[in-house]
Chain A
Amino acid sequence: MSYTKRLDGRKFDELREMKAIVGIVPNADGSALFAFGDTIAIAAVYGPKQLHPQHLQDPRRGILRCNYDMLSFSVPERKKPGPTRRSHEISKVTQWALSEIVNLEEFPNTVVDVHISILQANASTRCAGINAAALALAHAGIPMKEIVSSVSIGKIDDRIVVDVNKEEEEYEEGAGSTDIPMAFLARSKKIALFQLDGGIELEQLKDAIEAAEQACKKVYKIQQEALKDIR
């Protein structure tokens, strides 16, 4: 028994339909929406701005702060409003995924706030969030080396699939599901996010990483188009 056909009919290396729009929150210095199918993330950037209280300031560079959260009605079973351990962790890995590309040395003692909200969740929300955040940071004119693109890879039973949806995430037959969210920098090809949940052999994990790199190129293309579409 094996996962020979994806539950939603996609090819194994096929992402869901992506959507990216820049400039969706007029109040923000930069903002964007990014969607993988039914997973929709929005991100807004405020700053650089002076950081208070003073003891949090870094005199060498500005600080990047990320805050990821899901709206209560973004998931099938209502999520109680407010941060959870999960959202704290995702906020942190998001910040790590973005840290190397932003260059805040010009702005010591300041903060750049990145707020990410998940409007609708169907797995891969952190990846959609990172993609939206990268766009919002660029839109805010923050000095950046390059763009980061993120995608989740899954091992469903024994098959590597790209851009896992909820149904696949919950797959229980055979070897079940392994979730591997990753992010690649578009130019230097470095890995900025790498998490894994489940069970996978080394050789297959190598395939998964390769699949992630290829998929991130497709994500990047959508991000690129969205930023260039600004009028």
Chain B
Amino acid sequence: MEISNLTKERIHDYLRAGKRFDGRGLFDYRDIVIETGISKNAEGSARVKIGDTEVVAGVKLGVSEPYPDSPDEGALISGVEHLPLSSPHFESGPPSIHAIEMARIVDRGIRESGFIDFKKLCIKEGEKAWTVFLDIYSINDAGNLMDASALAAVAALKTAHFPEYDKDADKVIFGSLTDKKLPLTESMPITLTYYKVNNAFILDPISLEEESSDMRISIAMSRQGKKVIINACQKSGEVTVAKDELISILEKAMDKWKQIEPKVAKLIDKK
């Protein structure tokens, strides 16, 4: 059922008092669970749960000709699919604009942070390079698929290994993974999305909160040496944002990122 006027108003009342529907503080995340290696046929894979929200992500690799404008680099192709299995609101068919936008935000965070060392994906300049296919699927939508997707993407990439590649036959031997990991850097992007509900901003909304939100700002950040850098941003939705509001959110995001990053890194690496 879609959200009612009554519940929407109540959510506003709560937020004015600094409370959430499920008792959390405005910027508290639900519990995050990360499981890696969930699909044996993927070169890397992960399941991320944030509360009742669940997504899975998988990495597949392929060899192809590099793009002419970057002949010594590999490529990344990211996709997000909102499976109709995961919510009564999702329909079968080609990806919705929401899924496409989500994939674009995930993709930009990874690309702009330099998390993947694309040069090391080159096999022979101008002729052969690895392409990283990153696919993310929703399993249960209980709000905040955006941040969950970005997190699952990073976790899947971090556990990815190259399959064997027969240079002479120019064939990837799928199913036999090597010890060689995907070339990643220390700059792991994590995306935090702030949702504006009435006059308040919150993190990690449940479905009801997400449905009563008119605008959101996604911010992907990563560590570059000693600094934390903002790599990708997107304001989505029809409502505008004031300048000082935006700046305050960016500042909050920076602080939150610094808290959350070591935790996430630990969750991914624990296996």
Q: Which of B39, B140, B141 contacts A119, CB < 8 Å?
A: B39
Give the contact stretch, choosing among A9-17, A22-30, A205-213.
A22-30
Q: Which A residues are CB-close (under 8 A) to B225?
A: none
Given contacts A73-B39, A73-B135, A28 and B62 within 8 Å (CB-CB): no
Contact A81 B135 (CB under 8 A): yes
Contact of A27 among B42, B79, B87, B95 (CB under 8 A): B87
Q: Distance in Å from the Cβ of B74 to the closest Cβ of chain A?
A: 15
Q: Does A117 make an interface contact (CB < 8 A)?
A: yes
A26-B140, A72-B135, A81-B79 are known contacts. Are A44 and B92 too (CB-CB below 8 A)?
no
Q: How many residues of A contact B (CB 8 A)?
A: 32
Contact B38 A82 (CB under 8 A): no
Which single residue of chain A is at the shortest CB-CB distance from B77? A78
Across the interface, which residues of A come within 8 angstroms of B175, CB to CB? 76
A116: chain B residues within 8 A (beta carbon): 85
Contact, CB under 8 Å: A26 / B84: no
Q: Which of B59, B85, B135, B140 contacts A115 (CB 8 A)?
A: B85
Nearest CB to that of A115 among chain B residues?
B85
Residues on the B chain within 8 Å of A119, using CB: 38-39, 56
> A119 CA to B92 CA in the complex, in Å?
17
- Of A46, A71, A78, the residue contacting B137 (CB under 8 A) is A71
Query: What count of chain B residues pass the 8 Å CB interface test?
Result: 34
Closest Cβ of chain A to B205, distance in Å, is 15
In the bound complex, residues from chain A placing their C-beta under 8 Å from that of B23 are none
In chain A between 62 and 88, which residues have their CB closer than 8 angstroms to a CB of chain B? Answer: 67, 71-78, 81-82
B79 → A minimal CB distance (Å): 6
A43 to B139, CA, bound (A): 10
Known contacts A27-B88, A76-B175, A81-B79; A38/B40 CB under 8 A: yes
Q: How far is the CB of A128 from chain B (nearest CB, A)?
A: 14
Q: A120–B40 contact, CB under 8 A?
A: yes
Are A27 and B142 CB-contacts (below 8 A) given A71-B137, A76-B174, A81-B81?
yes
Tell yes or no: B66 within 8 A of A by CB.
no
**Contact of A74 with B39 at beta-carbon distance under 8 Å, contacts A25-B140, A27-B141 already known:** yes
Q: With a CB–CB cut-off of 8 A, which chain B residues contact A112?
A: none
**B83 CB within 8 Å of chain A:** yes
Q: Which of A24, A25, A82 has the most CB of B within 10 A?
A: A25
8 A Cβ contacts from A1-52 to B? 24-28, 31, 38, 40, 42-44, 46, 49
What 6 A-B pairs have minimum CB-CB distances, sorted nearest first? A73-B58, A76-B174, A78-B60, A73-B42, A115-B85, A44-B85
Chosen A-B contacts, 8 in total, with CB atoms closer than 8 Å, are A27-B142, A73-B42, A77-B172, A82-B94, A115-B85, A116-B85, A120-B38, A122-B41
